Structure 1
Amino acid sequence: MRIRILLLLSIVCFGCSKIKPRRPINPKPSTTILKETIKESKKLNQIEDAKIIHLIKKDSANTYQVSSNGFWYTYINKTEEEKPKPKTGDIVTIEYNITDLNDEIIYSKEELGTKTYTIDKEDFISALQVGIKLMKVGETITFVIPSYNAFGISGDGNKIGINQSIKSTVTLTNIK
């Protein structure tokens, strides 16, 4: 009987004690590491942008425009007549390819096939999400896209490498 009373008393005493919060084993990363990472990313972005600007200057046959979203584009086939442009929620049909900056084909138009895409509702190359909204049916635009607006630091896990800038020629064939 005494053992039961002692056991019950010890459970009550130790069971009601306050639990001390555990401290993390690894401290938070210092702000200097984060600042250095940001600094390196900005440097990488400047290098990519410089390569693209050099490429654009060499291409005297086309006139490129810079987007406020961080990519460049040129019209290959521009429609002057008044036609609607896609807006959020519209379903568009496009044909496109992906090349590197030296026009070496990464994914051909045939390989990618015709793509049906819902504007701003599906995951797609971020620069093309914005760029498609500039287009009218029948137009073809070549987009020059830095890696931070394409596949970024991971690539596509297949043919597009880490931090690889790309070009994509897109034809808008239909808007629903």
Structure 2
Amino acid sequence: MNKLLTIAFVLLIFNCKSPEARRPISTKSGSFIDASIEINKKRYAKEKAIIEKIMEADSSNYIPSQSGFWYTYHTKIENDSLVTPQFGDIVNFDYDVKSLNGVEIYSNEELKTQNYAMDKQELFTGLRHGLKLMKAGETVTFIFPSDRAYGYYGDENKIGPNTPLICKVTVNSITQN
């Protein structure tokens, strides 16, 4: 019996080995991803050229953001004691949405006054980052390329896929959390 246990133990030790990774049956190249990157680069270059023409025609001083969009102040608060919203703060704001050719997509009345918990609720990327630049009482016009707006899918309502947007935003109040 002792010999049988010893043999079983030895077999168990020699049969244990680390699991091997399974290899895919077929491998795919990155050609789809490479093609997608090229398409997106061309789309962005085309949108940027249109946006730059719009900014040149406008007498406002547009500022490029680090988040990939442009903005200009209509009302700027110079008071440094006022804060910009941080994570979890409640931002009360009004905004409208237009296409690059100035056609209104959503009006202030349609969108109504919004209460947004900063970075805790859904909001398209550009507007979320834009609100972080604003103080209570400021009004700013943002120009968002499509990748900073609703991107590839649009809003599945009035905004189509790959649509750059212009939004005029007024922050009414910021309630710190």
Question: What is the TM-score when the length of structure 1 is the normalising length?
Answer: 0.82
Query: Structure 2 CA distance, aligned partners of 1:76 and 1:28?
Result: 54
Cα distance, 1:144 vs. partner?
Answer: 0.2
Query: Structure 2 CA distance, aligned partners of 1:137 and 1:115?
Result: 14
Deviations 1:32-75 (A, max 9, x none): 22211111111111111111111111112x11000011000000
Summarize the alignment of residues 122-141 of structure 1 with structure 2, pairs less than 5 Å apart: 122-141=121-140
What is the aligned counterpart of 2:77 among 65, 76, 79? Answer: 79
The alignment partner of 1:44 has SS state of helix
Identity of aligned residues (%): 41
Task: Identify the structure with the greater helix proportion.
Answer: 1
Matched residue count: 153
1:151 to 1:29, Cα distance in 2 relative to 1, 3 A: farther
Deviations 1:110-154 (A, max 9, x none): 000010001111110111111111111110000000000010111
Question: What is the TM-score when the length of structure 2 is the normalising length?
Answer: 0.81
Aligned to 2:55: 56
What is the aligned counterpart of 2:64 among 66, 81, 100? Answer: 66
Cα distance, 1:28 vs. partner?
Answer: 5.0
Q: Which runs of 4+ in 1 moved over 6 A?
A: none
Q: Does 1:30 align with 2:33?
A: no
Query: Structure 2 CA distance, aligned partners of 1:52 and 1:120?
Result: 27
Aligned to 2:98: 99
